[in-house]
Chain A
Amino acid sequence: GQQLNQSPQSMFIQEGEDVSMNCTSSSIFNTWLWYKQDPGEGPVLLIALYKAGELTSNGRLTAQFGITRKDSFLNISASIPSDVGIYFCAGRASGTYKYIFGTGTRLKVLA
C-alpha cells in the first residue's frame, strides 16, 4: 500500500541533543498526525495538525504542518532516554477518513 516517506530512517543521538525528522508526501493532506511506538505496544498519538503552517507543541515535542501541505516536521528538544522508539507520521486527504502512514523513524538515545 501507499506509504509516506520519513527521514531519517533511524538515528542515534546523545542525551540532551535536539532531534528533527520529517515526512513527505506526493499528495496534499488536510491533517497530519505524529505517533510514537514503543516495542510491543500500539502507536501513541503525540500531536495532531489541521492547518497548513500550523505549529503545535506537546512538552518537548513540536510539530509543524508544512505550508505546501505535502510535508510535516517533528522536533524533539533536549532528548532523554525514554524518547527511544519509532516515530510515525500519518496524513489524511480531504474526503476520506483513511490515513496513510509513514515508514517510521527509529530513534535511539545514547545516555
Chain B
Amino acid sequence: DARVTQTPRHKVTEMGQEVTMRCQPILGHNTVFWYRQTMMQGLELLAYFRNRAPLDDSGMPKDRFSAEMPDATLATLKIQPSEPRDSAVYFCASAQTGDEQYFGPGTRLTVT
C-alpha cells in the first residue's frame, strides 16, 4: 500500500527554535509538493520539486523557510527561526506525472 509518509505528525516548539519536517514520497513519484493548511488561508502551496530540482518556491517566506530534496526518497521543509504565525498543518504530496497528487497525513506544528 504505497503512501506518502511524514514525520513528525505533531510538533510543539517555542518561538525562535528551528523546525524540520520530513516527507517520504511514494516510490517512483518524481514530483513533490509542500503545502500549508490553516483555517484562514486554506491550502497554500509553499514549494514543489520535480526530479529533486526546485521548480517553484514562490509561496514560501524566503527569509525563514527552506525546502530541499537530498535524495529521491526524502524531502525536507525547515523553518528557522519559527514564529507563532507559522502554526499550521504542513502537508507533503507526491505525484508521478504532476497530475494525481497524493497527500501525506501532515505535520501539525504549534509554535508558542
Chain A contacts to B: CB under 8 angstroms: 1, 3, 31, 33, 35, 41-45, 48, 50, 88, 90, 92, 97-99, 101-104
Contact = CB atoms under 8 A, between A and B. Distances in A.
B22 to A, nearest CB: 15
Given A1-B44, A97-B50, A48 B106 contact: no
Interface of B: 4, 31, 33, 41-45, 48, 50, 55-56, 59, 91, 93, 95, 98-106
A41 B89 CA distance: 10
8 contacts: A1-B59, A3-B42, A35-B103, A41-B105, A42-B4, A42-B91, A97-B95, A98-B48
Nearest to A100: B45
B31 A97 contact: yes
Nearest to B45: A98
B45 A33 contact: no
Given A43-B103, A97-B55, 19 more contacts: A1-B44, A1-B45, A3-B42, A33-B100, A33-B101, A41-B105, A41-B106, A42-B93, A42-B103, A42-B104, A42-B105, A42-B106, A45-B101, A45-B103, A48-B100, A50-B99, A97-B95, A99-B101, A101-B43
Secondary structure dominating the interface of B = strand
A44 B101 contact: no
Contacts of B42: 3, 101-104
| Shortest Cβ-Cβ A-B pairs, 7 listed | A42-B103, A97-B98, A101-B43, A43-B103, A1-B44, A42-B105, A48-B100
A35 B91 CA distance: 14
B110 to A, nearest CB: 14
Given A1-B41, A41-B105, A41-B106, A98 B100 contact: no
Nearest to A90: B101
B48 to A, nearest CB: 6
Contact of A98 (B43, B56, B91, B104): B56
Nearest to B6: A42
Q: Which of A1, A48, A103 has the most CB of B within 10 A?
A: A1
